[in-house]
Amino acid sequence: MIDFASPLSDTETAPSKEKQVLTFSSLNTFRSCQRRYKNRYEDGLVPLKSDADALYLGTVVHRALEMWYGIGDKDLARRIALETIDDQCKERNENIEVKRTWQIVRAMVAGYIDRYPTEDWEVEAVEHVFNGTIINPKSRRESRTFTIKGKVDLIVKLNGELYAVDHKTRKSLSENWIEQIEMDTQMAVYVYFLRQAGLPIKGAVHNVLLKSGLKQNLETETEEEFAARYAESCAKNKNGKSNIKRKVPESDEDFAARLADWYADADKFQRAVVELPPERMDLIQEEIWEITQMYLDVRSRDIWLRNTGVCYQWGQACEYLPYCRSNFCTKVKEELFGWSATVHNEFSEWGGE
């Protein structure tokens, strides 16, 4: 087992408390849309109401997998992982969305454990937090303004080599998802800074868990509604009969069984191993440095450009779209947003990028 708590070597510099802490999420947000970065990380604006289902579900999954991989006794680990899901979804009896997340994640994690009861890898670290130094690739001097922090889900030993593992929940996978993952920047950034800390990380394992689109059938109908629908169905058949049944709400047990059947398919869990050569690390170093320099320039001039091409990224509207559409109206800001001092959610109670 590698000592992940060992101090930095003499050639490395521990992050200064006076430096501004960046994360991959904040860097990626700035690169994607400068105005969104300002709203979130400069002004601390957080939506009072938001559709955080995907983030919430992913967080619950991460916590459960942390228990699964962090406890040596697998029978105990399974029980604690499922109990962790229950603990994070305490409002499931009062909130239908929380209940659905609880149902899906419980089936997902149980299916995942059944899919991988044993692993080809050895777990070296769980939820490993790292601090990194941002370096000018030309002068080799470290940034006087920024430092970076991150957290990797797992570090494992696979075929005698160390890899960083990233858990991801997705609705679906495209045909070229492997090519997309090979270009993934987040894990490349993590591997770069893990290597900087002296860990010989060879590459990344992308551990994908698909999110089921199944929904519990809660529809019901009165006897009169069923009689009308039955008569309409019979009229469409030559024999004047129909085998339709009255709609009644699906029980929790029946829905759980449907989810279990869905996750019994091994294809619902996918993994891809990506090796990251030194040349890729050189590019990562250059990109990170350039982003920080652009950020310094934008901040000094206080001009934050909007990237309207990502207003509806991933099929949903940016949480700041109403504010941007209002041309940053103070009234809209006060009605829709609050303020939070916690700018890097990956290190708050909810954890995980």
Q: What does the pLDDT average to over 192-219?
A: 95
Residue of 217, 316, 292 whose CA lies nearest to 27: 292
Q: Break the chain into its structural domains and give their ranges.
A: 20-29+51-212+251-317
pLDDT of residue 173: 93
- Confidence band (pLDDT; 50, 70, 90) for 159? very high
User: What per-residue confidence (pLDDT) applies to 346?
Assistant: 58
Q: C-alpha dihedral over 223, 227, 230, 236, to 10 degrees?
A: -160
Q: What is the pLDDT of residue 343?
A: 60
Looking at this protein, which amino acid is placed at residue 261?
D
Percent of the chain with pLDDT over 90: 75
Task: Name residues whose C-beta falls within 8 Å of residue 253's C-beta, 6 or more positions apart in sequence.
Answer: none
On the question of pLDDT at 347 being above 80, the answer is no
Integer Cα distance of 222 and 235 in angstroms: 20
pLDDT of residue 51: 54
pLDDT tens column, 229-240:
889 999 989 888
Give the model's pLDDT for residue 115. Answer: 97
CB atoms within 10 A of CB 1: 8
d(CA 186, CA 334): 33
Distance CA 85, CA 109 (A): 9
Rounded distance between C-alpha atoms, residue 40 and residue 346, angstroms: 14
CB atoms within 10 A of CB 37: 21
Query: Is pLDDT at 336 greater than 80 in this prediction?
Result: yes
Do residues 29 and 306 lie in contact, with contact meaning Cβ atoms separated by under 8 Å? no
279: three-class secondary structure by DSSP: helix
Query: Could you tell me the pLDDT band of residue 249, with boundaries at 50, 70 and 90?
Result: confident
Please state, as a whole number, how many other Cβ atoms lie within 10 Å of the Cβ of residue 53.
Answer: 13
Q: How far, in Å, CA of 176 to CA of 55, rounded?
A: 24
pTM equals: 0.85
- pLDDT higher than 70, residue 10: no
**Stretch among 63-77, 221-235, 265-279 having the lowest mean pLDDT:** 221-235
pLDDT in tens, 269-309: 999 999 999 999 999 999 999 999 999 999 999 999 999 99
Residue 155, pLDDT above cutoff 80 = yes
pLDDT of residue 220: 83
User: What's the whole-number average pLDDT of the chain?
Assistant: 89
pLDDT at 210 over 90: yes
Compute the residue count for the chain.
353
Helices (H), 71-176: 74-88, 96-115
CA–CA dist 224, 215 (Å, integer): 26
Using CA atoms, how far apart are residues 155 and 170, in angstroms rounded to an integer? 21
Q: How far apart are CA 139 and CA 123, in angstroms?
A: 37
The architecture (CATH level 2) of 20-29+51-212+251-317 comes to Alpha-Beta Complex (3.90)
Whole-number pLDDT of residue 11: 37
> In the prediction, which pLDDT does 351 show?
36
What is the 3 state secondary structure string of 155-182? EEEECCEEEEEEEEEECCCCCCHHHHHH
More confident residue, 340 or 243: 243
